[in-house]
Amino acid sequence: MVVKVSIMKPRTTFDIYLEQQLKDPDFAERFKKAGEAWDVALKLASLRKISGLSQKELAKRVGTSQQQISRLESPAYEGHSLSMLRRVAEVLGATLYVEIQPNRQRKLPVVAEPKAIYGVKKKKIA
């Protein structure tokens, strides 16, 4: 017989505070964006470390400065360019994948023109 025991972690005052703050749509959006930047920073740093490279060594291979690599690995940095991320990914033996998803609340605009209505001419039989 297997018995699973689940122990709930007690909520901290920070958990309660964060839950309240996330009710504010502006805060929730900023929090989400910060999480996305954090994901990019952690992924870059992790791939670099797995590759056995220092920031300075990676910078040299990419053709940039160590300071730029440090910025890319910082969760607070928001100036990522696709070209730089591609160059870093290539050196690290990785593939850059960017996905843009529509918001679920809004309908996407329709691009196609409305359906044309054509009349059918009948041939006269002589």
Question: What token pair was written down for 11?
Answer: 């909520």
Evaluate if residue 122 carries a pLDDT over 70.
Answer: no
Measured distance CA(27)–CA(93) in Å, rounded: 36
Give the C-alpha distances (Å, rounded to integers) separating 13 from 10, 23, 30. Answer: 10, 16, 21
Q: 56 versus 123: which is more confidently predicted?
A: 56
Backbone angles phi and psi of 49, in degrees to 5:
-65, -40
Structure pTM?
0.58
Residue percentage of the chain with pLDDT more than 70: 73
The overall average pLDDT reported for the chain is 81
Residue listed under structure tokens 């018995």 = 3
Q: 111 versus 61: which is more confidently predicted?
A: 61
Dihedral sign, Cα of residue 21, residue 25, residue 27, residue 33: positive
Q: What is the mean pLDDT of residues 85-111?
A: 83
Q: 92, 58 in Cβ contact below 8 A? A: yes
pLDDT score recorded for residue 63? 97
80, 4, 6: which is closest to 44 by C-alpha?
80
Query: Mind listing the domains of the chain with CATH numbers?
Result: 13-91 (1.10.260.40)
Q: 88, 44 in Cβ contact below 8 A? A: yes
Question: What token pair was written down for 121?
Answer: 């001419």
Evaluate if residue 105 carries a pLDDT over 90.
Answer: no
